[in-house]
Structure 1
Amino acid sequence: MSLELGARQAAEAIAARAQGRARFVVAIAGPPGSGKSTLAEAIGARLGANACVVPMDGFHLDNALLDAQGWRPRKGAPHTFDLAGLRDLIVRLGNPRAPVYYPVFDRAADLSRAAAGCVMPEQKIVLLEGNYLLLDQPGWRDLKQMVDMSVFLRVDMVTLQQRLMARWEGFGLGPAQAEAKTAGNDLPNAQLVVTASQKADLELVDGILAR
């Protein structure tokens, strides 16, 4: 119920700011397990056909590249994404005169599929969602200035841990493996997002707009 309320509140704020704009790009950020993908979809549903959701997960580096660098255990950390590619996409999203294609991450295959998603010119509002869109680190911090509005979803760490554990178990891992994955990678990433993200235009706490 609270996420529904937060989605409605955020959608109203976004729609008001997007008035008169040919293209309006919103960054929706939050730690892994916070529900930002669900929030983005809920906001998009409320905004209607002129809005679309674009996940940044399509910019995961391929597993072969991660293995070559020894980065596979930290997949999902900032350095395991194609930041330059993401920046280029944001620039292209600002141009509503032509379709913009973007990569989509296939979780079942654990790889990104090139040009699997498309933003059409008539889709005025683009909801770009991902963990690190507001990260205050070199390169990443510039993204906030490239979008028109930002939203941050904040959830307490205990809830995040429970959700992340459940996610891994849903992928078929046993409790011990799920705990190792969560503690070794997901929680450090979540802590980074929580402690090192820039202030957003809107912040939702446990799914409700903070005043």
Structure 2
Amino acid sequence: METHVQRLVDKTWEKFSDCDLSQRLLIAIAGIPGSGKTTLAASVAHGLNKAHRRSRHTQFPNSPESDTSCPDIAFVVPLDGYHLTRKQLSEMPDAEEAIFRRGAAFTFDARGYLELVTQVREPITPETPTIYAPSFDHAVKDPVANDISIPPTARVVIFEGLYTALDAGGWRDAYELMDQVWFVETDVETATRRVAKRNFAAGIADTFERSLERTRASDMRNARDILGSRLPVQEVVPSVEDETWRSEEIVRVDGQLQDQQDEEEEEEAKLEELKRQKMMRMDSIAALAADGVGM
């Protein structure tokens, strides 16, 4: 059966094929926290780049089908880079609430996001420069300016984030510049547990129970705002837990990483066993020496 990802890749490739050389196809993926926006965006971009290389191979049969020198055409821009900095939040009238609610729409730079989308929407010309978007550094918990490049060869740009389909000032203007808007749908309880696990793993809370409590008070409050103010979308994509969301290559890479981890753990276990046997031999020699054996 055709997977969600493959269907979206095929649909998007068909739309892209109708674009002229000056056009970019812009897609926004929205959804509540924990719905799987990032995974979907990465998988669709991967599928589009793979389709592009196959198409190029068809046009130029002497080129390898997996030609990595062929520039990617699909790029993902996460909304995370438009978080307001911790310094900006601390300067708000209710700094404590702003810091606790980080992730709510008012804690993002909607104007900066709109400026980027407006730039990317401009027709491609020989003079079109590389455009840069901010990323988010989870280690320092702040955005990093000009960290994601969108080169002139980028023909499909996927923006993914909580508020890309929000009916509010700034967000609405960027939404109207998109060719397609998708919404990843999941139930709130499933999303709550996903986000709580993620936050607990990141050390945001010291117990899973506290992480659940915080997630319900902050992230799921944002979820209700997103669900209550969602603009119309062209695709509602059900969030799923199985491997159909990920390309074969992504699954294979994960499998290789797991195999590598298993091999490392097995090697470590062997070393530990050798150390244990060596200690046992040394203990035996010491016991014999104590009894005067071999003296």
Output the TM-score relative to the length of structure 2: 0.67
- Whether 1:182 and 2:182 are equivalent positions in the alignment is no
Assess if the C-alpha contact under 8 Å between 1:29 and 1:132 holds in 2: yes
The aligned amino acid for 2:167 is D
Question: Which of 11, 14, 18 matches 2:12?
Answer: 14
Aligned to 2:249: none
**Whole-Å separation in 1 of the counterparts to 2:142 and 2:78:** 14
| Structure in which a larger fraction of residues adopt helix | 2
The aligned amino acid for 1:53 is V
Deviation at 1:148, TM superposition (A): 1.3
Aligned residues: 206
Name whichever of 17-26 and 104-113 sits farther off: 17-26
Deviation at 1:10, TM superposition (A): 1.3
Aligned to 1:85: 112
Q: 5+ unaligned residues in a row in structure 2: which ranges?
A: 50-71, 245-295
Q: What value does the CA root-mean-square deviation take over the aligned residues?
A: 1.7
Aligned to 1:136: 167
The aligned amino acid for 1:186 is D
**Whole-Å separation in 2 of the counterparts to 1:64 and 1:141:** 26
SS in 2 for 1:146: coil
Assess if the C-alpha contact under 8 Å between 1:33 and 1:163 holds in 2: yes
Give identity over the alignment, percent. Answer: 29
The aligned amino acid for 2:15 is R
List structure 1 segments (4+ residues) > 3 angstroms apart after TM superposition: none
Output the TM-score relative to the length of structure 1: 0.92
The aligned amino acid for 1:176 is E
Q: Rg: which structure is higher? A: 2
**Whole-Å separation in 1 of the counterparts to 2:151 and 2:142:** 24
Task: Trace 1:52-67 onto structure 2 (pairs within 5 A).
Answer: 52-67=75-90
The aligned amino acid for 1:58 is G
Aligned to 2:239: 206
Assess if the C-alpha contact under 8 Å between 1:154 and 1:194 holds in 2: no
Q: Structure 1 residues 67, 176: closer, same or farther in 2, change over 3 A?
A: farther
Task: Trace 1:1-211 onto structure 2 (pairs within 5 A).
Answer: 5-19=3-17, 20-21=19-20, 22-48=23-49, 49-69=72-92, 70=95, 71-95=98-122, 96=124, 97-172=128-203, 173=205, 174-207=207-240
Tell me the alpha carbon deviations over residues 107-129 of structure 1, each in whole angstroms, 9 at most, x when there is no partner. 12100000011011111000111
| Structure in which a larger fraction of residues adopt strand | 1
